[in-house]
Amino acid sequence: MMEEKKAVVLLSGGLDSTTLLAMARQEGFVLYGLTFRYGQRHLHELEAARRVADYFQVREHRVVDIDLRAFGGSALTADIEVPKGKGTAGSAEIPVTYVPARNTIFLSYALAWAEVLGCGDIFIGVNAVDYSGYPDCRPEFVAAFEKLANLAVKAAVEGKITVSIRAPLMFLSKGEIIRAGLKLGVDYGLTHTCYDPAPGGLACGRCDSCLLRKKGFDEAGLTDPIAYAPLPGT
């Protein structure tokens, strides 16, 4: 009997992490989806993560509560207004939607679970092309975490696992991510992207995250299957 290959996949329910899950499945991994409830102002993300986890039949889907609101410092977890229509994506400025140390914290939990599962592969959907300028989405951050992880946990130090932080979306444009996902059977109608949805959960169409998503579908020459809230004045 061949030994199972397991992987922990960080799953937000967004377009990127859903594509990531499809890629990990394509590689033959048994999937363990990890989602965080971290004081986001919108819980639509969590519902999307559950839909996506069901769709891809992950073996386990854990939703872990982490209290990033305890420290504040971000428009996503505190009472700071999410910027609209500014298109900060790609600019040199790091936007207010940045959450302090978020991916460091997410990967630390993923590492703990991976060690308990006895696996070293951890998938994260970070991207250094069409990204919002977050420092913890860069390849040097991922490489540094991988190095740390192999020093940090017992199973790695004892040679039972080798931690590999897998970031296959790192150098893909949003359009390339979408095309890759469609080839792997992703239904993007299940995903949720918006930072600041309208009542009822409709995507605003104007935050950084929505703008990037729209740009991706435009690039791919495709129509986004999700509905957007009407723009003001239309």
The binding site for a second copy (CB under 8 A) comprises 62, 64-68, 70-73, 94, 98-105, 108-109, 111-113, 115-116, 134-136, 138, 140-141, 144-145, 147-149, 151-154, 156-158
Residue with tokens 């990127």: 16
Least distance to a second copy from the beta carbon of 56, Å? 21
Taking the least distance from each CB to a second copy, the nearer of 43 and 157 is 157
From CA 206, how far away is CA 82, in angstroms rounded? 10
Taking the least distance from each CB to a second copy, the nearer of 147 and 183 is 147
**Residue 72 region, left (φ>0) first, then alpha (ψ -120 to 50), else beta?**
left
Least distance to a second copy from the beta carbon of 197, Å? 25
Taking the least distance from each CB to a second copy, the nearer of 105 and 129 is 105
Coil, helix or strand at residue 213: helix
Least distance to a second copy from the beta carbon of 2, Å? 25
* Rg, the chain, Cα only: 17
36 contacts 109 by C-beta, under 8 angstroms: yes
From CA 204, how far away is CA 217, in angstroms rounded? 16
Taking the least distance from each CB to a second copy, the nearer of 65 and 81 is 65
Least distance to a second copy from the beta carbon of 211, Å? 21
Q: 142, 130, 147: which is closest to 167 by C-alpha?
A: 142
Taking the least distance from each CB to a second copy, the nearer of 111 and 207 is 111
Least distance to a second copy from the beta carbon of 163, Å? 10
For residue 13, give both structure tokens: 């329910």
